[in-house]
Structure 1
C-alpha cells in the first residue's frame, strides 16, 4: 500500500514536471497537467454554451483561447458567440469596450493561426472571410465610436481578398461605410459609385451561381435590394448628375485611358449612355487607341445626337481600320443607314453599293437600297414612270433573297407590300410601253429596269 501511494505521488510530480501549454510547445492541447486542464475547460465551456450561459462559459473558454490557440477552430466561432452576447448584455460602457477589444483579438488570432486551424476542419476558411467578419463585428458593436475611415479601408481589403466570394454582410457593410463617408465628404462620390458597381457585380455573380437554390437566391435578392436602397439614398443616381460629375473630369484626364475606360464602364452599367459625356469619353478613348469598334461606337453616338457628318466620318474611319472585308462592309452599311435616315438618298446608295462591293453575300444593303427607292420613288413628272421605280425595288429585294437566305423572310414581306404599287399594263400602254421593254429610271436612282 505504501508503494502504491508513492507511485501516485510520483505520477503527479511527473505530470507537473512535464506540464506545458500548447502556446508554449506548439502542440494542440499542451502536455501534462496543462493538456488535462485544456480538455476539461473545453468540455466545461461547451456545457455552459449549450445552456446559453455565456457569462459562465467565458472564463474556461478564455483559458483555452489563451493557452491552446490551435486546439480547435471552434474556439474562435464559440468565442465570437460568447463575446457578442456579453457585449449585448452589458450595461457598462467600459466593459463593453473591453469586450469589443477582446472580440477583435479573437479575429486577429484566428487569422494568425488559420493555416494550422484549417487542417482540423473539412470546411476551411480564408483570411478575407475572417477579416470581413471582424469588420462586421466592429461595425455592429462600435456604436458612435466607430472609425469610419479605418473600417472602410479594412472592408475594402477584405473584399479585395474574397472578390465574388464576399459574404452578403461584407457587401452590405461596404455600402454602409461608403455612404457614411460620402455624407461627410462629397469628393468620395466617384469611389462610392465604384463600390456600388463592385458590390452589384459580385451579387449578380452569386445570383447566377445559386439559381438552383431558392433559399440562397432569396438571401442574395435581399442583399441586392439593400445595396440598391443605399445607392438611391445617396441621391447620385441620375444620369444628369453623372454628366455633371464626369464631364469636367474627362477634360482633366483626356490622356488617361484607364480612367476614361472606367468612366465608360460606369456609364454603361448605370445605363447613362445617352449623356453627352459618354460620347466625349468615347471620343477620348478613340483618340488614344483608335480601333474600328471605338470609331463605330462614336459614329453611332454622333448619329443619336443628330451629328450626321461626324457620324459618317467615324464610320469611314471604322471601315478603314476594320481588319477584314466583311467588317468594312458592315461599317459602310451603317453609314448608309445614317444617310438614309437623314434622307440623303444619293450618298446613302453610294455607301450601300460600297458595302455590297466588299461583301457580295450580304443581303442587308440590297434591302436598304430597295427601301430608299420606295421612300422616294419620284424622279420625273410622269406618275406612271415614277411607279416603275417599284420594279427596281423588287429587283433589289429579290437580289437580297438570292445572295443571303437570312434576309429571305423580310424581303418576301416587302415584295408583297411593294408589288401593289407596280403600274398596270393599261397605264403603261398609255405611254406606249409593254412587258419586256427597258425603262431607264433617272434622277438619283439611275437604274434600268425591265417591265414585267
Structure 2
C-alpha cells in the first residue's frame, strides 16, 4: 500500500515537471514566433519607407524582444531618423531623445557587437547637431565626447566627431574653462587618432592601388572599397586641416615656449611629452629657439627615432642625420610621410631636384597619396623659363608639368598647363611633331611633342 502511494506521488511529480517543461517550451516558442513576426513587419515597413507602419512593431520589439535581433535597432534607427528630419518643435525633440535611448538600448543589449563602441560617439554627435533644440552647453557636449573617446578610443573613428570634439575644446579654452596644456594635449590626442585612421585607410587603399597598377582588374566589390578608402583618407585629411585651423595662433612660439620651459623638468624623461613638444615647436616654426634644441637633444638621448634624426638634420644640415632618418623609419606609410615632409622642405628652399627625389620616393612607398604629383608639376611649371634653351622648348616644359598633374588626377591643373604649351600651329611651324625634346637643368627629362 505504501509503495503504491509512493509510486503515485512520483508519477504526479514527473507529470507536473513534464507539464512545466512543456509549457515553458510552448511559451518560448510562442515568444520567438511573435518576435519573428514583428521583426518581419518592421523590416518590410522600413524597406517600403512606410515608417508609420513600422513604428508599432518597433515599440513592441523594444519592450518584449530587446535581445532578439540587432535588426530591431538598425531599422528603428531609420524610423526615428526619418521622424527627426520631418518633425519640428517638441515632437522632433522627443524623437531625438528616443533615438538616443534606442542607441543606448542597442549598446546594453548587444555589448559585443563590433559597432557597439561607435554608438556612444554617435549619441554625442546627435546631441551636438541638435544642441539648440536640446539646450546643451559646450561643456556638457565636450564631456560627452570626452567620455566616449576615453572609454573606447579604437572605435571613436568618425571624422566629423573628431573635429567637433576638438572644436568644443577650443570653445572651452576661449571661454577660459580649459588651460593651455589641456588644449595642446587634446590637439595631440586628436591628431594622433587622425593619423592612425588615415594610415589604416591608406594601407587598405594601397593594396588595391598596387593590384590595379600591376594590371589586375578590381572586382566590383574591390572597386567600391577603393572608393570608400579614398574617401576616408580625404575626410581625415580635411579634418586635420580643420583641427589645425581651429588651433591657429593659440599655439605659437610665444605661448608654447614658456609652457614647455615650465614643464620641462617634470617631463624630461617622458618620451611622449618630449615627442609632442618637439613636433609642435617644429610645426609652429620655433625650431631656432634654444628650447626646441634642448627638447630635441633630450629626446634623441633617451629615445632617438626618425623624427629626432630629421630635426637634427634641419638644425645641423649634416647629411648623416638625413641618412639616419631613412634608416630608423621602417614603416612604409610613416616613411612615405617623412619623405613627403623632407621634399616639402627642399621645395621651399628652392632645391627642386632634391625635392623631386623625395616626392618620388614618397609615391613609391604610398602610391595612394597623389599630392607629390601636384608639387612636381608645379616645380616643373615654375622652372619653364630656366630649363629650356629656346622659347619653344621653354614652353614645352608645360607638357611635362601637365603629364605630372594628370598622373595625380589634377585635371584642372593639367588643362591649364597644356594651354601654356606650344600650339598646333607653333608645332607645325617648328616641324617637330612627334619628336622628343630634352629638357635641361635640374629637370633632366625628355618630353614628346604631340603629333598633329
Report the TM-score, using the length of structure 1 for normalisation: 0.50
Deviates more, 1:186-195 or 1:292-301: 292-301
Q: Provide the alpha-carbon RMSD of the alignment.
A: 4.1
Confirm whether residue 127 of structure 1 aligns to residue 116 of structure 2.
Answer: yes
Shift of 1:284: 5.6
Determine the structure 1 residue equivalent to 2:172. Answer: 181
Matches within 5 A, 1:106-185: 106-115=102-111, 124-143=113-132, 145-160=135-150, 161-163=152-154, 166-185=157-176
Q: Is the aligned partner of 1:54 residue 2:51?
A: yes
Measure the CA separation in 2 of the matches of 1:50 and 1:217: 28
Q: Give the Cα–Cα distance (whole angstroms) in 1 for the partners of residues 173 and 104 of structure 2.
A: 29
The structure showing larger relative contact order (alpha-carbon pairs under 8 Å, at least 6 residues apart) is: 2
What is the match of residue 248 of structure 1? 258
Instruction: Specify the SS of the correspondent of 2:28.
Output: coil
Q: Secondary structure at the match of 1:194?
A: helix
Which residue is 1:103 aligned to?
Answer: 99
> Of the candidates 283, 289, 296, which is equivalent to residue 282 of structure 1?
296
Q: Distance in 1 between matches of 2:309 and 2:43?
A: 67
1:197 corresponds in structure 2 to: 191
CA distance in 2, matches of 1:59, 1:293: 60
How far apart are 1:221 and its partner, in Å? Answer: 3.5
Quick one: structure 1 residues 141 and 235, their matched pair in 2 at CA, closer, same or farther if it must change by over 3 Å? closer
**DSSP-derived class of the 2:67 partner:** coil
Q: CA 1:140–1:205 in structure 2 vs 1: closer, same or farther (change >3 Å)?
A: same
Q: Does 1:31 align with 2:19?
A: no
Shift of 1:248: 0.9
> What TM-score comes out, normalization by structure 2 length?
0.50
Bigger Rg, structure 1 or 2 = 1
What is the match of residue 410 of structure 2?
none
Does the C-alpha gap of structure 1 residues 202 and 149 become closer, same or farther in structure 2, counting only changes over 3 Å?
farther
Which 5+ residue runs of structure 1 have no aligned equivalent? 1-13, 21-28, 119-123, 305-310, 316-452
Cα offsets for 1:407-450 (capped at 9, x unmatched): xxxxxxxxxxxxxxxxxxxxxxxxxxxxxxxxxxxxxxxxxxxx
Correspondence list, 1:362-441, <5 A? none
Using a 3 Å threshold, how does the CA distance of structure 1 residues 135 and 294 change in structure 2: closer, same or farther?
closer
Unmatched segments (≥5 aa) in structure 2? 1-18, 209-224, 322-452
Q: CA separation of 1:269/1:153 partners in 2, compared to 1, >3 Å: closer, same or farther?
A: farther
Deviation, 1:250, is 1.8
CA distance in 1, matches of 2:174, 2:294: 29
